[in-house]
Amino acid sequence: MMPTPNGKIAIVTGGSRGLGRSTVLSLAERGVQSIFTYNSNREAAEEVVDTAQQMGIKVIAYQLNTGNVSDFDVFVTQVQAGLAELGAERFDYLVNNAGISHYKSIEETTEEEMDMLYNINFKGVFFLTQKLLPLLKDGGRIINISSGLTRFAFPARGLYASMKGALEVFTRYLAKELGERQITVNTVAPGAIQTDFGGGVVRDNLEVNRHIAGLTTLGRVGLPDDIGPMIASLLNDDNRWVNAQRIEVSGGMLI
């Protein structure tokens, strides 16, 4: 049975591949329409739009580099147009998923690399959320995507994990400030996932894949579809009392 639009609308950053793609399509399966962003791969974005359309759910893709704060006003205007196209003025859910990886030791990391990671993985999330808050309905939901690396540590992940740690603190403060609007804000922290993130090392390097699989209680590496449906479920009103939490989705990695 094909899903029927349920009147809910999500905005998902980085929705064309990996966890973002799984999130958009998992929401579509539940009748949620989405406006999602992609950085450069228009073909991948169009594939997501087409797949959702085949389900009977309309989703809209806009190009956005979430590290360029100066582009956010234009993006908000696009969102308003997209909402009008979907027959709405405001949206219900925000999933801050877009991000980049970094694999260098603290000694080797450059100031330019830190600035790039900061702009995309924290500053962009902070100010894009700020810009979109007037369009988010009272009683809405925000999910920020963090990482298992804020709990466990691996070599050459220090800068990336530090940015995600900042995002987790931001989540709690945002939940505190938005409580009067009955908006919940949570963090989802995936473990190692088989995607093209970070050059696809977990997906494509068999040795790395096997090593990480051995660190989980379930004996395998995670897949995007282990994460997207969980995010979609967390956005559901059944979870309205879950707020300001860090929820790790790692298959029991390093416990």
Q: Is 147 a catalytic residue?
A: yes
Dist. CA 65–CA 121, nearest whole Å: 11
Instruction: For residue 11, give the 3-state DSSP assignment.
Output: strand
Q: Is 160 a catalytic residue?
A: yes
Dist. CA 167–CA 33, nearest whole Å: 26
Q: Is 173 a catalytic residue?
A: no
Query: Annotated catalytic residue: which of 22, 26, 147, 250?
Result: 147
Query: Annotated catalytic residue: which of 22, 26, 160, 162?
Result: 160
Q: Do residues 93 and 10 make contact, with C-beta atoms less than 8 angstroms apart?
A: yes
Instruction: For residue 209, give the 3-state DSSP assignment.
Output: helix
Residue 20 DSSP label: H
Among 172, 123, 170, 145, smallest CA distance to 14 is for 145
Query: Annotated catalytic residue: which of 164, 173, 233, 250?
Result: 164
Q: Is 123 a catalytic residue?
A: no
Q: Which residues sit opposite 29 in a β-bridge?
A: none
Query: Annotated catalytic residue: which of 16, 146, 162, 250?
Result: 146
Q: Which residues are catalytic?
A: 146-147, 160, 164
